[in-house]
Amino acid sequence: MVTQCLFNKMFEITKKSKKDKSRLGKISTNHGDFQTPIFMPPGTQATVKAVGPDDLAKIGIEILLVNTLHLSLQPGENLIYDLGGVHSFMGWSRPILSDSGGFQAWSFSKNRTKNGKKMAKIREDGIEFSSPIDGSKHLITPEKSIEIQHKLGVDIIMAFDECTPDNDDREYAKKAMERTHQWAQRSLKKHQELSKVYLEKGKKPPLIFGIIQGGIFEDLRKESAKFITSLDFDGIALGGETIGYNMPRTLEIIDYLQDLLPEDKPRYTMGLGSSAQDIIEVVKRGIDMFDCVAPTRMARHGSLYTEQGNLRISNNCFEKDNNPIDKNCDCYTCQNFSRAYLHHLYSVKESLYLRLATIHNLRFMMNLIQRLRKEI
Ligand SMILES: [Zn+2]
């Protein structure tokens, strides 16, 4: 595609580590630049649960994720488009990445409706699913996914893919990979078609990333990496249930794909980042981007990150503890509130607890990212 050569380089490696494969980089988007390595918090319903855009900016969040399928079902991409796009809809002016909806539709396929029917069916042309809101039937195809993501007006869109489960069904993983490859080509074609409008106006179209599948199988992962990197994507993602969920396997996959991943494109491990150690391990291996629901979800469920490990705020030992969650943390919560106060808010189920806890866990992740960047 001719798009990127018309504009400044979208991805630039600014420094490479001398001791491992980690690298510092910068990605330029229509809503500003952000640095890599980067942790991106998921804002599924066009909101990072319990915190507002002002909180996110203070925490130092540089880019967040929204969910294509959820937003398409409610309030609908057309409404968001008519209201000026997802940035203005949610009051966030920095970069946004949208997932393709493939993971969500796949996760529906594991659930059943009240009638015992599977909530989603994978077809060759896309994924048919029942809405979790009202049971209505929908078909999401690669073209539809790309169209929705363009309408949302995000900065980075993802090719439509089929997520592969973390199991040893090789035949299924191969079929899902082949579908993902076909869908990647169709996604790219649709994206290029929709990008013309931007180019005619002298504007930069969103960036598009392709997704490598192949389950837990080395030959399939390598085949998928070769195929996806041969296409004209702006960035390369590693997808599948295994990534981030099964860390020993994730690291193995990254290691054997190392030589197949182009140096000059950002690398994104999808759904990875439930602990500091997971992030440290993949950054060492040259991964630039990651997202995970764990830091915010764990915060809401009473698990707070500290340098010494997670702290369970419901524990009675915090009832009279006047210390901050983490004495080394510079977040709003740690600067102003004690463990005793958070323990109290959590015990009486006050909504302020959710905000304060989320601020802390996200800031903990961003402080980790800052430290890793400095060490490169
Ligand atoms: Zn804190």
Written as one string, the DSSP assignment of 173-232 is HHHHHHHHHHHHHHHHHHHHHHHHHHHHTTPPPPEEEEEE--TT-HHHHHHHHHHHHHS-
Backbone angles phi, psi at 39, to 5 degrees: -100, 130
pLDDT level of residue 3 (50, 70, 90 thresholds): very low
Whole-number percent of the chain with pLDDT over 90: 87
Ordered by where they begin, the domains of the chain are 4-290 (3.20.20.105), 293-376 (no CATH)
Residue ranges in the chain assigned as alpha helix (H): 53-59, 68-73, 77-82, 86-90, 102-108, 142-152, 170-200, 218-230, 242-245, 247-257, 276-284, 294-300, 332-336, 339-347, 351-375
**Distance from residue 248's CA to the centre of ligand 1 (Å):** 29
pLDDT computed for residue 7 by the predictor: 61
pLDDT computed for residue 4 by the predictor: 47
Backbone angles phi, psi at 266, to 5 degrees: -65, 145
**Distance from residue 182's CA to the centre of ligand 1 (Å):** 45
**Distance from residue 299's CA to the centre of ligand 1 (Å):** 11
- Residues ≥6 apart with Cβ < 8 Å to 277: none
Using the Cα atoms of residue 329, residue 333, residue 338 and residue 341 in order, give the sign of their dihedral: negative
Q: Are strands 96-98 and 64-66 parallel, antiparallel or unpaired?
A: parallel
pLDDT computed for residue 115 by the predictor: 72
Other beta carbons within 10 angstroms of residue 120's beta carbon come to 21
pLDDT computed for residue 46 by the predictor: 97
Which of 72-76, 96-100, 110-114, 231-235 is predicted least confidently? 110-114
**Distance from residue 317's CA to the centre of ligand 1 (Å):** 19
**Distance from residue 326's CA to the centre of ligand 1 (Å):** 6
pLDDT computed for residue 9 by the predictor: 81
**Which residues, chain by chain, have CB under 5 Å from ion ligand 1?**
329, 331, 333-334, 360
Contact between residue 86 and residue 96 where contact means Cβ atoms under 8 Å apart: yes
**Distance from residue 358's CA to the centre of ligand 1 (Å):** 9
pLDDT computed for residue 202 by the predictor: 85
pLDDT computed for residue 104 by the predictor: 83
Q: Dump pLDDT digits (tens) for 7-37.
A: 668 999 999 999 999 999 999 999 999 999 9
- Residues ≥6 apart with Cβ < 8 Å to 86: 46, 66, 71, 80, 96, 98, 152, 153, 154
Residue 135 has pLDDT above 90, yes or no: no
Residue 189 has pLDDT above 70, yes or no: yes
Whole-number percent of the chain with pLDDT over 70: 97
Contact between residue 164 and residue 214 where contact means Cβ atoms under 8 Å apart: yes
pLDDT computed for residue 265 by the predictor: 97
Q: Dump pLDDT digits (tens) for 236-251.
A: 999 999 999 999 999 9
Residue 2 has pLDDT above 50, yes or no: no
pLDDT computed for residue 31 by the predictor: 96
**Distance from residue 350's CA to the centre of ligand 1 (Å):** 18
Mean residue pLDDT across the chain = 94
**Distance from residue 335's CA to the centre of ligand 1 (Å):** 7
Residue 6 has pLDDT above 90, yes or no: no
What is the distance between the alpha carbons of residues 16 and 264, in angstroms, rounded to a whole number? Answer: 12
Residue 130 has pLDDT above 80, yes or no: yes
Residues carrying an active site annotation: 99, 291
Q: N- to C-terminal Cα distance for the chain?
A: 32
pLDDT computed for residue 107 by the predictor: 82
Q: Give 199 or 236, the one with higher predicted confidence.
A: 236
Q: What global pTM score does this model have? A: 0.95
Output the six-digit token pair for 350: 């006050």
